[in-house]
Amino acid sequence: MKNNKLSQISNSQKISDIDLRILKDVEKKVSWLSAWMIHNANNIRPSLDGIKVGGHQASSASIISIMVALYFKILKSEDRVAVKPHAAPVFHSIQYLLGNQNKDKLENFRAFGGAQSYPSRTKDTDDVDYSTGSVGLGGAITIFGSLIQDYVTQHNFVSKNFKPGKMVALLGDAELDEGNIYEALLEGAKQNVRNCWWVIDYNRQSLDAVVADKLHLKIDELFASMGWRVITLKYGKKLQSLSKIKGGNKILNWIDNCPNDLYSALSYMGSKGWREHLNKDLKNNKDAINIINSLSDEDLNETMSNLAGNDVEAVLEAFIEADNDDIPTCFIAYTIKGFGLPLAGHKDNHSGLMNNDQMKGYQKNLNVKNGDEWDYYSGLDSSEDLIKDFLSKNPFYEGDKRLFSDKKIYIPNKLNYKNAEVSNTQEVFGRILNEIGKEDSDLSKRIVTFSPDVTVSTSLGGWVNQKQIYNREHKEDIFHNEKVVSAQKWLASPKGQHFELGIAENNLFLALGAAGLSDKMFGSALIPIGTIYDTFISRGLDALNYAVYQDARFLLVATPSGISLGPEGGAHQSIITPLIGIGQPNLLMFEPTYADELEIILRYTFAYMQDPKGSSVYVRLSTRNIPQIKREINEKIEEEILSGGYWLEKSKNKSNITIVFSGVMAPEVFEALEVLKEDNLDVSVLSITSGDRLYKDWKEAQKQRSIGNKVLSRIEELFLDTRKESVIVSLIDAHSSSLTWIGGAVGKKTVSLGVDEFGQSGNLKDLYQHYSIDADAIVDACAQALSN
Ligand SMILES: Cc1ncc(C[n+]2csc(CCOP(=O)(O)OP(=O)(O)O)c2C)c(N)n1
Ligand SMILES: [Mg+2]
C-alpha cells in the first residue's frame, strides 16, 4: 500500500445529496444482483452435469462503485466501454436496472442462451461495446477505437450530429501484466490518442496472488511516459476526513506503509485484526490511538477499508473533474477485492463463492426480502418513484439507440490490374490496390489499410504513395523534401488512408477489430485491410480471435507464406496458417493460385465483408512467380473459384487419381501430371481456392442431411466426376494435414504432401525436394496411393 501520492480529487464539483443517496441505493442493488446472479447459477439453478458454474463475486464487488458512477452519472450515449471480463455480472446487473437486460437472462447467467460469463458483443443482448475475456485485450482495443473515431471524423464519414465519445476501459490490475497493453499504449502515444480513459481496479490481487508492493509507482511512470494523465484514487471519503483530525494522518501513513498482503489479510479479518495491528504499531501516538478507540468495531472496519475505488462519491468526483477535456487518462483506483463480502481481501477469493449461510447474511444486511431477489427496489432507502425517475434520466441512454449502421459501399464488377505471363499473388494484390487508389470511387475512399511495419514488403507501397499515411497532424516527408531518392512518399496527414503501425501484430488485429466495427460504432462503413507476414499471424492470434469474435469485418492479407519464400526463410515460413484458416470461426480463408483468382476473391471479399451473413476474410498470398493461365473468366468460373475448389484439369475418362492442391504448387502439379500421363493414368487436378469454405460447406451438408434434406456438398459433388475406387494425392505449401480431410469427406484413400517441419532457407528446387513437395514427390505419392 505504499504510496505517497494523495488522491488528486478536489471538491470543486459537488454531487447533489439526493443524487448521491440514490446512487448509493443503486450501488447496493447492483452489489446484490451481481452476487445473487452468481449464487443463483451455482446453488439454486439445478445442475444437470455436476460441473462447477462459477462466476466472480469478489472481482465483481471490487469494481461496483466505479461502474455505478460511470454508468449512472458519467457516461454518455456516444461513449464506448470495454468492461473487465470478470465484472460481467456487474455489467448485466446495471443493464437490468436500465431496462436492457431481462430477468430470464440473469437467471440463466452462464447457462446456454443466458447472460454471458464475460461481456460478449455478439452473444449478449444487453449492449456490450467490446467483447472481453482474454485479459489485456479489452483495455487495449479502446485505444484503437479512439483512433478510428478520429479517423472517421477527420474523413467526414460521420453524420453532422455525430459526437465523439470517450473510449473507456475498465481493467483489472493484473491485466497490466499482459505485454499487449504496452504495445497498445506505445502505438497510442505515437498516434496522439485522445478521448480514452482507463480505470484500473487496483485491488492488488490477481487470480493466484497478491501483487508486488509499489507496483502502482511503475504504473504511474509508465502511463505518464506515454503522455497520459494519471489520477490516483486512494482514500475514500471516510479516510479523507481522517486527515482533518489530529492523529488521523498517522493512520493514513500507516495505511501507506502497510504491505499489500497485510492490508488484504486485515480487510478479510475485519475489526479485530485492524485494532490489534493499529494499537501495536501506533502505540506511541496518543491521538491516533484515541481515534481508533473512539470507533466501534463496525466503524473501524468501514473506515480502514474505505478505499476510494469502493466509494462511489470519491470516484464520481474524480471522474467529473477529468471529464472536461480529451486528455487520455488513467485512473488508478484503490479497491478491495470482494469489497463488502465475507470474501473481502482473502488471497484465494478470485473464484471463491459465498456459501448459503453467507449469502443469507448478505441478503439480510441489504434488507432484500426473501422472494424479492430479482426485484428492482427491495431493500433500498429511496422510494420507487425517485429511483425510477433517476434511472429514466440516465445520460447513457438518452436519445437514440447506441446502434449505428451505414449504407453499403459499392463494389464494381471488375477490379483493374495488369496481369503478366508470370506473376505472383502478392504483387498482383499490390497492383489491384494501386489501381483502386487511382479511382475516385466510394471503394477507393473507404478502404483504410494497416500494416505493422511491413507495408512496403507486403506490396502496399504504391497504395500508400497515393493515399498517404493517416495522422491527426500533417507531417512532411523529409526524405522527399530533401530530394533523397526513394520509391516511397511517406507524407502523413489527417486525410491519409493508411495506418503505419509499429511491429506489433497484436496492435494490427486490435486496430482491424476497431476499424471493422466502425459502421456499428460510428455509422461509418470502412473497408479495413491489414497486411502481415503470414507466419506472424500466430503472434497476434488471440487479438485476431477477439476481433472476429466480436464480428468486426476486415480483410487480412497474409504474405509471403510457406517455404516458397525461399532464401528469405530462416524462421519466416508459415506452416500452420491454413489450419488456422479452417479452424478460426468468423474468418473465411482463401488461398488463390493465379492473379485472376485473386481479383475475383478480392472483389467478392469487399462485398462479403459488408454482408450481414458474411465475415472477415483472410487471403494467403505468395511472392513466388508462377506462369499464369490464359482463360476467359465468366460467371461460371467465378462461381467455381469462389466455391472453394474447381477442376483445373480433368482427365478424359473419370480419373483414378485426383491431385488436390492449394496455392503456389501449381507448377509442380503440372510437371508431375506430364509424367503421370506418360503412364496412361487418368489424373485430374482439383485446385482448392478455399479449403476452409469447402470444409464449412461439407459440414453444413451433413447438418442438412441429418434433418432429412438430401443435399451434396461442393466437395462431394466435385468427386462425382471421379472413379469410385480412385485415390487422392494432396499438396500444399503448409502443413500436410490442411487438405487431408478431403479424403475423409469423399471416402477416398489419400496421401498428403506438405511441410510438417520447421522451414529452411534455400532455393525452391532444394526446398521442395527436401520437404517432398516437388513433382517427383507427387509422382511417388500417386504410386503409393495406388499400390495397396
Ligand atoms: C489471457 C488470459 N490469461 C489468463 C486468464 C485467466 N484469468 C482470469 S482473471 C485472471 C486474473 C485477473 O486479475 P485482475 O486483472 O487483477 O482482476 P481482478 O483482480 O479484478 O479479478 C486470470 C489470470 C484470462 N482470462 N486471460
Ligand atoms: Mg486484481
Cα of 178 to ligand 2 centre, how many Å?
13
**Cell numbers found for residue 429:** 494484390
Torsion angle, alpha carbons of 549, 97, 70, 169, to 10:
-10
Q: What integer pLDDT is reported at residue 484 of this predicted model?
A: 87
CB atoms within 10 A of CB 351: 14
What is the 3-state composition of the chain as percent helix, strand, coil, each rounded to the nearest 5? Answer: 45, 15, 40
207 Cα nearest atom in ligand 1: 11
Torsion angle, alpha carbons of 571, 574, 576, 581, to 10:
150
Q: Crossing angle of helices 260-269/271-281, nearest 10°?
A: 130
Q: Report how far residue 7's alpha carbon sits from residue 543's, in angstroms, rounded to the nearest whole number.
A: 34
Give backbone dihedrals phi and psi of 322, rounded to 5 degrees, phi first.
-85, -5
Pocket of ligand 1, candidates 67, 207, 267: which has the most ligand atoms within 8 Å of its Cβ, to mutate? Answer: 207
Q: What integer pLDDT is reported at residue 33 of this predicted model?
A: 98
CB atoms within 10 A of CB 313: 18
203 Cα nearest atom in ligand 1: 19
Name which residue sits closest to atom 9 of ligand 1, judged by CA: 207
CB atoms within 10 A of CB 614: 16
Name which residue sits closest to atom 1 of ligand 1, judged by CA: 134
335 Cα nearest atom in ligand 1: 20
Q: What integer pLDDT is reported at residue 265 of this predicted model?
A: 94
Q: Report how far residue 358's alpha carbon sits from residue 42's, in angstroms, rounded to the nearest whole number.
A: 14
Q: Report how far residue 423's alpha carbon sits from residue 765's, in angstroms, rounded to the nearest whole number.
A: 18
Ligand 1 neighbour 333 (Cβ under 6 A): no
Ligand 1 neighbour 181 (Cβ under 6 A): no
What contacts 635, CB < 8 A, 6 or more positions away? none
From residue 426, how far is each of 129, 382, 626, 668 by CA, in Å? 35, 65, 12, 20
How big is the CA angle at 247 (ends 241 and 251), to the nearest 5 degrees?
A: 70
Q: Report how far residue 73's alpha carbon sits from residue 393's, in angstroms, rounded to the nearest whole number.
A: 10
Residue of 356, 363, 352 whose CA lies nearest to 54: 352
Q: Report how far residue 780's alpha carbon sits from residue 43's, in angstroms, rounded to the nearest whole number.
A: 62
Q: Report how far residue 446's alpha carbon sits from residue 155's, in angstroms, rounded to the nearest whole number.
A: 9
Q: Report how far residue 652's alpha carbon sits from residue 277's, in angstroms, rounded to the nearest whole number.
A: 92
Neighbouring-strand partners of residue 731: 661, 753
Ligand 1 neighbour 704 (Cβ under 6 A): no
From residue 561, how far is each of 370, 622, 733 by CA, in Å? 63, 5, 8
Q: What integer pLDDT is reported at residue 476 of this predicted model?
A: 84
Cα of 203 to ligand 2 centre, how many Å?
5
**Cell numbers found for residue 195:** 478521448
Strand order in the sheet with 447-452: 492-493, 469-470, 498-501, 447-452, 527-532, 555-558, 616-620, 587-590
59 Cα nearest atom in ligand 1: 21
DSSP state of 536: G
Q: Report how far residue 250's alpha carbon sits from residue 240's, in angstroms, rounded to the nearest whole number.
A: 12
Cα of 1 to ligand 2 centre, how many Å?
14
Q: What integer pLDDT is reported at residue 403 of this predicted model?
A: 85
Cα of 233 to ligand 1 centre, how many Å?
22
Please tell me whether residue 231 adopts helix, strand or coil conformation: strand
What contacts 295, CB < 8 A, 6 or more positions away? 303
Ligand 1 neighbour 57 (Cβ under 6 A): no
Name which residue sits closest to atom 26 of ligand 1, judged by CA: 134
Ligand 1 neighbour 785 (Cβ under 6 A): no
Q: Crossing angle of helices 595-608/425-438, nearest 10°?
A: 60
56 Cα nearest atom in ligand 1: 21
CA R_g for the chain: 30
Give per-residue pLDDT as tens, 334-390: 999 999 999 999 999 999 999 999 999 999 999 999 999 999 999 999 999 999 999
Residue of 415, 391, 507, 395 whose CA lies nearest to 97: 391
Q: In terms of pTM, does the model score above 0.85?
A: yes
Torsion angle, alpha carbons of 223, 226, 227, 231, to 10:
0
Pocket of ligand 1, candidates 63, 86, 176: which has the most ligand atoms within 8 Å of its Cβ, to mutate? Answer: 86
Q: Report how far residue 607's alpha carbon sits from residue 449's, in angstroms, rounded to the nearest whole number.
A: 17
Ligand 1 neighbour 59 (Cβ under 6 A): yes
Cα of 202 to ligand 2 centre, how many Å?
6
Cα of 343 to ligand 2 centre, how many Å?
14
CB atoms within 10 A of CB 233: 27
Ligand 1 neighbour 174 (Cβ under 6 A): yes
Name which residue sits closest to atom 7 of ligand 1, judged by CA: 207
Q: What integer pLDDT is reported at residue 151 of this predicted model?
A: 98
Residues of the chain with pLDDT under 70: 1-14, 399-401, 788
Cα of 398 to ligand 1 centre, how many Å?
33
Q: What integer pLDDT is reported at residue 5 of this predicted model?
A: 36
